[in-house]
């Protein structure tokens, strides 16, 4: 897909250069007077709290309890519910309702500030000198001998509401001068939050326990520790680039939302000379090697694959490009309508105009495709309970036979099928069908067919190789993110993506759930932005044209069973599969092929 140029890179709420809050004097005062913060009365417990913090796994963290006076915090909660409105923010990595930055409370009208007076007091306490010194003593996050301290003027926090289906996927928070992350939970005081409700703060251990010298550290595929979002508790951990990997588990309950105030304390040193790496997280997302392209298979003998003589007199475009034997082979699997010349020409015209097309009912549903959907439904039903425990970090992560978990989770997580690489017979109908489809799309016959169908035969000589990834995205677990690993290598002019998707959409309600996007599983293509702008805002929805962050979105393909999506992708286009929610009707199963195109030079195709 050809990208459209992003129009500028406006200032956003998460950029490193934030406006200094005008509350500075107020926060200093809050540190000197009596405040409704019971945590600050626990200074005698500081030594034991610090020991708990430093000994925590997989990295230093703590969940402080009874942080504020109950009556006061209830008043804050009621003010938020009555007066604050959150906007839905959704990108590849999160879905959450969020207010504006709380530093902007000072700019509200007198009446608005009156209605949110307790919220403002809470904010000022959190960034007061006394509170910051308590956290510095607890965590040891600043080198005070060098003059480092947590900045009380740079307020960086907002109200977040996670309703059912909302989530925040694995990341490390390493942006700009962030030094401490915190979450103050304002969940329903009378509701006892459980693992079944979801919404836990999940912490990830590094593979092999610690980073390897010279290597970019990666988290394990599944979380190590989970902290429930319990009322009047404060979760705190230091931002450690390449180490403090965490996520917010999808909320699975309809009863109560996960309400919190979350944000960061930024570090400040004399003359603002604190060494920082604002591109830390971005660089992690730029890592990853591309798989090599494999040669197409010759499923037919050379004598059968010779093109028809006198192709200029052929009845159809396909007759001119494929032999009779090749067409018979393809007709075994593909619906007859896709061999009709008028239909082929209409598809070519659309693809030439839009660089993409989604072909519904692509395979003959009475055969392998129907069996695959039935097998998908059956295996999903058997595994859903285990997947939920795995999402919560309470289950062994052993992969099923023929499959392996692909990570790391700050870039992707899904099951990859590798059974077609085995020489033995398939162990199930599902695996046998996948083997069959993999062989079909890896064949020269299919490559020629797709070149004609897209009209790329007029611009490129042929498909010279392919990459194959057979993926299963499990509800409540799996996704891919829009990392730079998904960009087309500069050694290639572009790539043809061919993705054959299967979901359980046999019932009308299930089909609508997939089409609406509410349960995720759709594939999105987006402009990478040429790497311009502040690296700290590589996923900032406030840089978008609308509330959902669609400024750079080029194409959105909903998951439709037995639909083949064809997309011509150039160098500056990212792609991702949106997180599949726990409420999704089924897994998303797809065969994701990338075809390398050979450019023609003087009538000859390049190698």
**Rounded CA gap, 146 and 150, in Å?**
13
- Paired residues of 573 in beta bridges: 527
Q: Is 17 exposed, middle or buried (0-12, 13-18, 19+ CB in 10 A)?
A: exposed
Give just the sign of the alpha carbon dihedral 283, 284, 285, 289.
positive
Whether 168 contacts 265, CB under 8 Å: no
Which phi and psi (to 5°) does residue 590 adopt?
-145, 155
What pLDDT score does 314 carry?
52
pLDDT at 568 (0 to 100)? 96
d(CA 406, CA 402): 13
pTM, rounded to two decimals:
0.87
Q: 3-state class of 379 per DSSP?
A: helix
Q: Which residues of the chain have pLDDT under 50?
A: 3-34, 278-280, 282-283, 285, 301-313, 531-549, 601-607
The percentage of residues in the chain with a pLDDT greater than 70, rounded to a whole number, is 79
Q: Which residue has the tokens 């923010």?
A: 89
User: Which residues are bridge partners to 311 per DSSP?
Assistant: none
Where along the chain do the CATH 2.60.120.620 domains lie? 24-285
Chain center to CA of 262? 20
Using CA atoms, how far residue 516 sits from 10, 223, 525, 556, 565, in Å, is 30, 29, 17, 11, 18
Q: Cα 505 from chain centroid?
A: 23
Q: Report the alpha-carbon distance of residue 577 to residue 412 in Å, rounded.
A: 9
Helix intervals (H) in 176-253: none
* 476 token code pair: 């409540």
Cβ neighbours of residue 547 closer than 8 Å, sequence gap 6 or more: 87, 88, 89, 541
The gap between the terminal CA atoms of the chain, to the nearest Å, is 23
Q: In the chain, which segments carry CATH 3.60.130.20?
A: 311-522+558-601
CATH architecture assigned to 311-522+558-601: 4-Layer Sandwich (3.60)
231, 63 in Cβ contact below 8 A? Answer: no
Q: Which two tokens stand for residue 171?
A: 């990341």
**294 contacts: CB under 8 Å, gap ≥ 6:** 442, 465, 466, 467, 468
Query: What does the alpha-carbon distance between residue 362 and residue 352 come to, in Å, rounded to a whole number?
Result: 20
> Distance (Å, rounded) from C-alpha 12 to C-alpha 541?
9
Q: What is the CATH number of domain 24-285?
A: 2.60.120.620
Judge contact between 207 and 219, C-beta under 8 A. yes
- C-alpha 5/C-alpha 283 separation (Å) is 23
* Burial (Cβ within 10 Å: 0-12, 13-18, ≥19) of residue 246: buried
Q: State the Cα–Cα distance between residues 320 and 343, nearest whole angstrom.
A: 16
Packing angle of the helix pair 429-441, 370-391 (nearest 10 deg): 110
């Amino acid at each position: 897909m050809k990208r459209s140029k992003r129009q500028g890179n406006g200032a956003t709420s998460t950029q490193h250069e934030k406006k200094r809050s005008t509350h500075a004097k107020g926060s200093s005062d809050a540190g000197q007077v009596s405040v409704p913060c019971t945590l600050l009365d626990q200074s005698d417990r500081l030594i034991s709290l610090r020991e708990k913090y430093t000994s925590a796994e997989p990295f230093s963290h703590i969940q402080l309890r009874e942080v504020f006076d109950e009556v006061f915090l209830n008043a804050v909660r009621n003010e938020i519910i009555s007066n604050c409105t959150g906007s839905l923010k959704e990108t590849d990595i999160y879905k959450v309702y969020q207010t504006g930055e709380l530093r902007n409370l000072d700019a509200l009208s007198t009446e608005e500030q009156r209605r949110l007076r307790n919220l403002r007091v809470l904010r000022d306490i959190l960034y007061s000198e006394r509170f910051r010194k308590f956290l510095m003593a607890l965590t040891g996050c600043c080198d005070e001998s060098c003059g480092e301290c947590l900045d009380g003027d740079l307020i960086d926090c907002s109200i977040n509401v996670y309703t059912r289906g909302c989530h925040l996927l694995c990341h490390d928070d390493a942006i700009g001068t962030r030094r401490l992350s915190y979450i103050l939970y304002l969940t329903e005081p009378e509701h006892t939050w459980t693992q079944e409700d979801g919404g836990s703060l999940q912490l990830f251990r590094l593979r092999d326990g610690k980073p390897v010298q010279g290597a970019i550290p990666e988290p394990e595929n599944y979380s190590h520790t989970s902290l429930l979002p319990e009322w009047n508790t404060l979760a705190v951990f230091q931002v450690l680039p390449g180490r403090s990997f965490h996520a917010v588990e999808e909320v699975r309950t309809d009863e109560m939302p996960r309400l919190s105030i979350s944000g960061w304390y930024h570090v400040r040193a004399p003359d603002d000379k604190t060494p920082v790496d604002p591109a830390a997280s971005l660089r992690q997302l730029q890592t990853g090697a591309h798989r090599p392209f494999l040669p197409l298979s010759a499923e037919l003998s050379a004598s059968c694959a010779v093109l028809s003589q006198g192709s200029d007199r052929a009845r159809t475009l396909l007759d001119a490009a494929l032999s009779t034997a090749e067409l018979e082979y393809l007709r075994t699997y593909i619906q007859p309508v896709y061999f009709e010349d008028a239909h082929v020409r209409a598809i070519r015209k659309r693809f030439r105009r839009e660089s993409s097309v989604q072909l519904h009912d692509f395979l003959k549903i009475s055969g392998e495709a129907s069996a695959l959907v039935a097998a998908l439904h059956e295996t999903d039903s058997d595994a859903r309970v285990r997947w939920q425990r795995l999402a919560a970090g309470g289950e062994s992560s052993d992969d099923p036979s023929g499959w392996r978990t692909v990570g790391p989770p700050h870039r992707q997580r899904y099951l990859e099928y590798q059974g077609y690489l085995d020489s033995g017979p398939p162990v199930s109908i599902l695996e046998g069908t996948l083997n069959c489809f993999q062989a079909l799309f890896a064949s020269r016959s299919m490559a020629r067919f797709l070149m004609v169908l897209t009209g790329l035969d007029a611009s490129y000589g042929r498909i010279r190789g392919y990459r194959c990834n057979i993926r299963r995205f499990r509800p409540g677990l799996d996704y891919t993110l829009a990392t730079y690993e998904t960009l087309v290598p500069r050694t290639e002019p572009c790539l043809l993506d061919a993705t054959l998707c299967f979901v359980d959409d046999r019932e009308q309600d299930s089909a609508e759930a997939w089409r609406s996007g509410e349960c995720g599983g759709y594939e999105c293509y987006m402009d990478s932005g040429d790497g311009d702008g502040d690296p700290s805002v590589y996923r900032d929805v406030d840089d978008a044209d609308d509330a959902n962050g669609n400024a750079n979105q080029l194409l959105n393909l909903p998951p439709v069973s037995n639909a083949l999506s064809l997309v011509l992708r150039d160098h500056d286009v990212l792609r991702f599969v949106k997180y599949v929610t726990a409420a999704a009707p089924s897994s998303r199963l797809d065969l994701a092929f990338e075809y390398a195109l050979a450019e023609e030079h003087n009538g000859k195709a390049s190698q």
